[in-house]
Amino acid sequence: MASERSGAASSASRPGAAEAKASTNGALLDVDGLFKHFGGIQAVAGATFDVAPGSITALIGPNGAGKTTLFNVITGFYRGDRGSVRFDGRDVFGQPPYEIARHGMVRTFQITKSLAAMPVIDNMTLAAPQQPGERLRNVLLAPARVRSNEREVHEQAMELLEIFNLTKLADAYAGTLSGGQRKLLELSRALMARPKLLLLDEPMAGINPTLGARLLDHMQRLRKEEGVTFLFIEHDMEVVMNHSDRVVVMAEGKVIAGGEPREVRKDQRVIDAYLGAGVGSPGGGRRKK
Amino acid sequence: MSFAGDITVAVTFTEFTQPEFWISVGLIAGIYTLVALGLQLNTGFTGIVNFGQAAFMAIGAYAMAILVVDVGITFWLALPLAILITMGFGVLIGLPALRLRADYFAIATIAMAEVVRVVAQNARGLTGGNQGFACAADDPTNCYFSTWRDVSGSINEFVESTFWSDPPSYFPLFLVVWVAVIIATVGMTYLQGSPWGRVLRAIREDEDAARALGKNTLRFKLQSLAISALLGSLGGAFLALNLSTIHPLVFEPLVTFFAFSVLILGGLANYKGVAFGAILFWFVLEGTRFIELPDPPFTETRIAALRLAITGMLLIGLMAFRPQGMFGKREEMVLGE
């Protein structure tokens, strides 16, 4: 099971370990002693935690704790200074974002990156992995193969849109969608990429409670039916306490606590971190703009 | 305005009834269509602002000429080789420059185009420098256009014997250029409709989103630039064939900005609009030649400047009333940000 470990107890990463599909402790994502600085600011200062397969893990912490930076380093958008990131048995530290996404670790962004001037359906079909039609050689020399694959991808996309109640908007430009619809689109688009682990950066921010509840239902269902693992940054403590089975708490670039939601809630270090940052207790149900 | 009452503006319309006028406008418009199709791919569909298209034209033209005259290979091989060389050059430039942010990339491409032009001016042994480049020094019959002129002559003989007794000498090139324009327009539209083209549009919208979905965006941007180089070099080679000397001044940055005007007139993110934009642009620029104004005060140089001003005002007017150009999609402009 996932557990919060001290930085010293680093997982021995054996490059030759052939059987290692998951790392030694069975985690899907194993982050160890990760550092990232910007000039004189240490944004991530030795973060160590892991994410168990099939879990919904929440990443919480006061503003400026380094959560989004941590996401960016894990997914390759920032180059970390040092540390290790193992995903699904692979060392992915320092790999480019597109490689990491291809391994099955797919992220969304705090500010949704719906591709505004593209129709919803193109947003979806874009995300399908390993498309033969993305190679010019196939487009020119194997058009039949490209077309048949495109039909399959289109079908999958429509199925997902159906699930997320976006079917009617399939041909609308993504830029015409409401904020909440964009969040749903980004989630369903990420699912098109067939992720093993989905990293969601504040999926509930800026959407109405009804839509938020639906999004959470989707997460639970995807976990159960498709075996997708979730790691998500969230500020709404109610959501964190009720919908996650593991919580990782960050403060000042470090992971200061981890465990089940109930334990974490009582953890003195967590309470101190939130009080120290002057934003109230973690039970406060605060939402970041 | 003391002279206001005396001015007589006259436009002679007889020129517009001559097929020669339309064919010469059509020829230059066709060449600029090819060049601007590359810009459409880069700027309209990939979101990379390429201000260096003139460099690709120059390399295409000079490489073709040098391969024919100095290396001595046949024109039919020299043209595709010149295109390949230009594409390779595009990739070499793109590898470092495409890692830059969009605006810095644009600046880097202007610099590239100027470097190419200045090299062409100064590498006299290779390009003839400011003297221009046409034929071998020791053999005035060995010119880069020799083969083409033979072919062109035979085509015109055929034209004369069938439907037109008196075609202008550039009529065959006009035909070839427009065949190329049609193939390129259809081809680019086909590529754009593929999943490959979809990734390009995603990069235009948000490169990080594309990367987060597993797309190696640098690879796609390099391909976009290489195809643009293909179209640019083909346009440059055709431009050279329309001249009797290749001169560095032919490939001034102004050429790129003319091509961008064509692009904007036709409309961003639409391939078929490019040809219409090119025809409109060159019709106005060439047609304004026939505006007759009294000299003085309108000397020839002043009228030349006035023609550009009129073309510029046309562009401004279009931007005010139809910012998406003739064929662009307004949604894609408005939703872009």
* Set of chain B residues whose Cβ sits within 8 Å of the Cβ of A175: 331, 334-335
Please tell me the distance in Å from A240's CA to the nearest CA on chain B: 25
* Set of chain A residues whose Cβ sits within 8 Å of the Cβ of B217: 98
Of B194, B206, B213, which is closest to A146 when you measure between CB atoms?
A: B194
B15, containing H or E segment: none
- pLDDT level of residue B312 (50, 70, 90 thresholds): confident
Name the residue with higher pLDDT: B320 or A122: A122
Share of chain A above pLDDT 70, in %: 86
* Set of chain B residues whose Cβ sits within 8 Å of the Cβ of A136: 191, 196, 223
Pick the closest to residue B270 from B196, B324, B233, B311 (CA basis). B324
Mean pLDDT of chain A: 85
Most confident by average pLDDT, A51-55, B224-228, B250-254: B224-228
Distance, CA of A242 to CA of A262 (rounded, Å)? 10
Q: How many helices and strands in chain A, by DSSP H and E?
A: 10, 10
- Which amino acid type is present at position B3? F
Which domains are delineated in chain A?
29-113+195-284 (3.40.50.300), 115-176 (no CATH)
The per-residue pLDDT for B307 is: 85
Q: Check CB contact of B198 with chain A, cutoff 8 Å.
A: yes
Asked if pLDDT for residue B121 goes beyond 90, the answer is: yes
The per-residue pLDDT for A265 is: 84
The per-residue pLDDT for A213 is: 87
The per-residue pLDDT for A12 is: 39
Asked if pLDDT for residue A169 goes beyond 90, the answer is: yes
Of B209, B223, B332, which is closest to A136 when you measure between CB atoms?
A: B223
pLDDT, average across residues A158-179: 92
The per-residue pLDDT for B327 is: 85
* Set of chain A residues whose Cβ sits within 8 Å of the Cβ of B268: none
Tell if the CB–CB gap between B336 and A109 is shorter than 8 Å.
no
Share of chain B above pLDDT 70, in %: 95
Asked if pLDDT for residue B24 goes beyond 70, the answer is: yes
Q: Count of A–B CB contacts within 8 Å? A: 102
Most confident by average pLDDT, B137-151, B183-197, B303-317, B321-335: B183-197
- pLDDT level of residue A20 (50, 70, 90 thresholds): very low
* Set of chain A residues whose Cβ sits within 8 Å of the Cβ of B206: 113, 115
Number of domains present in the structure of chain B: 1
Burial B181-205 (b: 16+ CB within 10 A, else e): beebbeebeebbebbbbbbbbbbbb
Minimal-distance CA residue of chain A relative to B214: A98
- pLDDT level of residue A279 (50, 70, 90 thresholds): very low
The per-residue pLDDT for B109 is: 96
Burial B239-258 (b: 16+ CB within 10 A, else e): bbbbeebbbbebbebebbeb
pLDDT, average across residues B155-164: 91
Asked if pLDDT for residue B310 goes beyond 60, the answer is: yes
Minimal-distance CA residue of chain B relative to A133: B195
Asked if pLDDT for residue A102 goes beyond 50, the answer is: yes
- pLDDT level of residue B328 (50, 70, 90 thresholds): confident
pLDDT tens across A105-134, in order? 999 998 888 899 999 999 999 999 999 999
pLDDT, average across residues A93-110: 94
pLDDT tens across A65-90, in order? 999 999 999 999 999 999 999 999 99
Asked if pLDDT for residue B87 goes beyond 80, the answer is: yes
Query: What ipTM does the predicted assembly reach?
Result: 0.84
* Set of chain A residues whose Cβ sits within 8 Å of the Cβ of B201: 115, 117-118, 122
Tell if the CB–CB gap between A115 and B211 is shorter than 8 Å.
no
pLDDT tens across B260-295, in order? 999 999 999 999 999 999 999 999 888 887 777 777
- pLDDT level of residue A229 (50, 70, 90 thresholds): very high
Asked whether the beta carbons of B42 and B94 are under 8 A apart, the reply is no
Give strand ranges (E) for chain A. Answer: 29-38, 41-51, 56-60, 82-87, 90-91, 105-107, 197-201, 229-233, 246-251, 254-259
Asked if pLDDT for residue A22 goes beyond 60, the answer is: no
Residue B252 resides in a domain: yes
Asked if pLDDT for residue A9 goes beyond 60, the answer is: no
Asked if pLDDT for residue A289 goes beyond 50, the answer is: no
Please tell me the distance in Å from B337's CA to the nearest CA on chain A: 8
Tell if the CB–CB gap between B335 and A135 is shorter than 8 Å.
no
- pLDDT level of residue A237 (50, 70, 90 thresholds): confident
Asked if pLDDT for residue B74 goes beyond 60, the answer is: yes
pLDDT, average across residues B163-183: 94
Tell if the CB–CB gap between A113 and B223 is shorter than 8 Å.
no
Name the residue with higher pLDDT: B208 or B326: B208
A80, containing H or E segment: none
The per-residue pLDDT for A78 is: 94
> Taking the CA of residue B222 as centre, how many other CA atoms within 13 Å lie in the half-sphere pointing to its CB?
14
Asked if pLDDT for residue B8 goes beyond 70, the answer is: no
Asked if pLDDT for residue A153 goes beyond 70, the answer is: yes
Provide the chain B residues 207-236 that lie in CB contact (below 8 A) with chain A: 208-217, 223
Please tell me the distance in Å from B82's CA to the nearest CA on chain A: 21
Total residues belonging to chain B:
337
The per-residue pLDDT for A276 is: 63
* Set of chain B residues whose Cβ sits within 8 Å of the Cβ of A127: 213-214
The per-residue pLDDT for A268 is: 84
Minimal-distance CA residue of chain A relative to B209: A113
pTM of the predicted model as reported, rounded to 2 decimal places? 0.88
Residue B2 resides in a domain: no
Residue B1 resides in a domain: no
The per-residue pLDDT for A25 is: 67
Provide the 3-class DSSP secondary structure of residue A193.
Answer: coil
Asked if pLDDT for residue A184 goes beyond 60, the answer is: yes
Asked whether the beta carbons of A167 and A161 are under 8 A apart, the reply is yes
CA distances from A26 to A50, A88, A162, B149 (A): 9, 9, 34, 74
Tell if the CB–CB gap between B211 and A101 is shorter than 8 Å.
yes
Tell if the CB–CB gap between B335 and A175 is shorter than 8 Å.
yes
Distance, CA of B9 to CA of B310 (rounded, Å)? 15
CATH code of the domain containing B108: 1.10.3470
Q: Which domain holds residue B127?
A: 8-334
The per-residue pLDDT for B164 is: 86
Q: Which two tokens stand for residue A117?
A: 């001037």
Tell if the CB–CB gap between B209 and A116 is shorter than 8 Å.
no
Tell if the CB–CB gap between B213 and A108 is shorter than 8 Å.
no
